[in-house]
Amino acid sequence: MINLELPKKLRASANQAHQVAAEIFRPASRKYDLAEHEYPIELDTMAAMVEGLSDSGGDVSGATGGRKTEGEKDEHATELLGNSNGGNMSALMNALETSWGDVGLMLSIPYQGLGNAAIAAVATDEQLERFGKVWAAMAITEPSFGSDSAAVTTTATLDGDEWVLNGTKIFVTAGSRATHIVVWASVDKSLGRAAIKSFVVPRDAKGLTVSRLEHKLGIKASDTAEIRFEDCRIPKDNILGSPEVNVEKGFAGVMQTFDNTRPLVAAMAVGVGRAALEELRKVLTDAGIEISYDKPANNQHAAAAEFLRMEADFESAYLLSLRAAWMADNKKPNSLEASMSKAKAGRMGTDVTLKAVELAGATGYSQRTLLEKWGRDSKILDIFEGTQQIQQLIVARRVLNLSSDKLK
């Protein structure tokens, strides 16, 4: 069973991340919300800090998924009941805390991109040596599809000792700033989704072009790019995992990345939701509205009752996220729990932040606080890494034990 008390090492790491969020992210949050596409110079300080923490075994943002190389040990890991290393749990807590500060800036932390989670999840030891300290974005979505990741049309053709990539990717988070891009491409379209593999492509590779940056509703501090690959050549061993196509295993290998990253996105939503609840509590308290845990909700002010409902929803999303990370750390299949946490937290994040704007009235709708910004930021957390509807579909398939061709 899961022990819900975080061990000392994870608490210390989370406290460090919270200090970064409070002292670096929050003060700059509005500045970069109003200056979309401007590089946050405060992140240069973060780069040095992240590199130092990585060398000492820490991870401020948590995007790497917490994989440890052979020989590494965590003397505090046993404090999480049966936990093999605590890396995913640590990653989750750090993502939560930094997102409490600003989720757009969290997604912009140098060397901690979503592509790093893919590398941590499936790279060989040799690839970890080469790519362990790069800044890797993740390129999956294309102009022809959104949530259906199996509809990849970008191709990778083996030509001697090189792969040649062709195609277009959109909505690539950190696509113009990262040093490398993890690209999903098909090595043989005739074999369907089983032939989809992920490749590590240097951003300065010949044939790779950042064609535009998106203007967005939220997370404006984070760059979101469209990237084109035109006869883009990379070394043969830049493919993550095995180059062999296993039709029986199908798409499962490349999809394993999501089992690591979906709880992290859930944690981001939990962090933003907590920020909104804390700010809303201040607004309600200043308005003379008492929130009591000793009285039934129906005997309290309507706003207080709504706050209690949202806080309970927040707690359940938090606990589901912890469970998904705990299972990953203990090498337990967590596809169901990863999707459950992402679905719950994504929905909670949008509900809590927008309701907080509503309950705060003119204060919430204005730029006097960050409430309206959190309302805009939270929506993406219910979309990327698989929409709410996709997560519910995955949960239904797992619960009913039905394959994707039987339940669409």
> Looking at the annotation, which residues are catalytic?
385
Cβ contact 70:126 at 8 Å: no
| 162-173 vs 155-159, strand pairing mode | antiparallel
